[in-house]
Structures are given as structure tokens and as C-alpha cells.
Structure 1
Amino acid sequence: MASPSRSLQASALSMACLSIGHTIGGRQWTSDPAFGVITGTKPWACGIVGWFQGSAFFMMTGLLHYQWASNPRLLQEPTNKAIAVIMNGLLWASSAWYFRHGIKENGWVVGFGAALQAWAVARAWLKY
């Protein structure tokens, strides 16, 4: 078995932190008075569930990175490679979306997570 990957461990930790921050951010934006106007509507319901699905995505991503960190050779498997590429694309797209809509702090944090994930996965691909 390959030795544990510190870069993938760092990426796992960053994703867990993103999950917590994302959850806290959701509580903040849903307390905005403008959001209260749509309470009980379909957009409200979809917004709430979608936001917390995003938080769960970050936590699952962190757990997956932790698994990859324990055995970086898993990233040589085509399915895991595809997951890593899709995941990274989603992170970059989310970062760009935040920037495009003026939510710079989220754009920077998610972009950092995307860059860290890309670096950690690329290291594993090249090393193992």
C-alpha cells in the first residue's frame, strides 16, 4: 500500500471546513429579510435543500479525499479519476459563479479549495 498523502489530507480538511462554513453561510443568508418574503414557496424550499445539499457535498468530498489520502493509488482507477475531475470542475464553476455575482469571499474560499484539490490529486497521479 502507498504511504499516506499529506496533500490529500490537507484537501480533505479543507473540504470539511468548507462544509462547516457553507452551513454557517446558509444560516446567514436565510436570515436576510428578503429571503423571508419567499418563505414557504417552491424557490424557498429548493434554495434551502439545495444549500444544505451543497454542505453535504463538501463533507462527502472531504471523506472521499480522506480515503484517497489513506491510499493514493485509488486515484489511478478510472472511476476515481472521473470523480476527481468532475469534483474539481464543480468547485471551479462554483467559485466563478460566486465571483460573477459579487460574492467574492465565497469565490475565494471555494477557489482555494479547488486549487488545493487539483494540486493534491495531480500529485497523487504523478507520484503513484
Structure 2
Amino acid sequence: MPTSRTLSASAISFAVLSIGHTLGGIQWTNDPAHALITGTKPWSCGIVGWYQGSAFFLMTSLIHYQWSRNPRALQDPTNKAIALITNGLLWASSAWYFRTGIVENGWMVGLSAALQAWAVVQNMV
């Protein structure tokens, strides 16, 4: 069975997002304003949530890599649902970043959403 280059590209984009997201978290938590809430519930939730996001991107990269090796897996309703939920989450996150003025994150997540949608739709048929 041939591999899917578009799904491979999407897998790579998610791996890059994971690394960038982790590095962004390091930068974000070093902001002096962040030190003001250290030890609070919002601080704890923010930190763990941020790194959960990085893990989400890494997991998504692995799923797309698996799909790239077996594009027929996208015929399965569960895999279709995973792809749809992932894409919706990416578009919503991109819109949130743009709405709150974090433009570079908005662009990166939005581009990954577009690539993921294109790759998945191309391989669902």
C-alpha cells in the first residue's frame, strides 16, 4: 500500500507544532507577569494545560504518521471522528489566538489545520 505524502507532511507539521508549543511555554512561563501568580490554581492549570497541548500535538503527529503509512485507516468512522475533532480544535484554537492578538500562533495553528484538512480529505476518498 502506498504511503500518503500529504499525511506525512501533516505529521511533520504537528511534530514541529509540538516543539514550538513547548518552547513557547518556556518563554511564556518566564514572563515576569507569570511570576505574580506562581503557586496559584490558575498557574498550575496553565502550566499543565500548556504542556498537555504540546503532548496533544505530538500524539496527533504520531496518528498522522500512522495514517500516512495506511491511508485506508481514514475509512474507519473512529479515525474520521478523530480527524474531524482534531481539525475543529485546530481552527478554534487558531481563531482564539487571532482574537487575543497572538498572531504568530494563530498562523501556525491555522496553517496546520488547513494542511491537516487537505491531507485527510484527500485520503478519505
> TM-score, normalised on structure 2?
0.99
Partner residue in 2 for 1:13: 12
Q: Per-residue CA shift, 1:13-34, capped at 9, x if unaligned?
A: 0000000000000000110000
- Matched residue type, 2:59: M
> What one-letter code is carried by the residue in structure 2 that aligns with 1:91?
L
In structure 2, the residue matched to 1:38 is 37
Q: Which residue of 2 aligns with 1:100?
A: 99
Q: State the percentage of identical aligned residues.
A: 72
**Equivalent position of 1:64 in the other structure:** 63
Report the Cα offset of residue 6 of structure 1.
Answer: 0.3
Shift of 1:118: 0.2
Give the Cα–Cα distance (whole angstroms) in 1 for the partners of residues 121 and 81 of structure 2: 13
Is 1:48 equivalent to 2:47 in the alignment?
A: yes
**For 1:32 and 1:120, how far apart are their aligned partners in 2?**
37
Q: Structure 1 unaligned runs (5+)?
A: none
Q: Aligned partners of 1:11 and 1:44: how far apart in 2?
A: 32
Q: How many residues align?
A: 125
1:123 maps to which residue? 122
Structure 1 runs, 4 residues or longer, greater than 2 Å off: none
TM-score, normalisation: structure 1:
0.97
The separation in 1 between residues aligned to 2:29 and 2:93, in whole angstroms, is 19
Residue 26 (1) aligns with residue 25 (2):
yes
Aligned CA-pair RMSD = 0.4
The one-letter code sitting in structure 1 at the alignment partner of 2:69 is: S
Unaligned runs of 5+ in 2: none
Give CA deviations for 1:50-96 in whole Å, capped at 9, x if unaligned. Answer: 00000000000000000000000000000000000000000000000
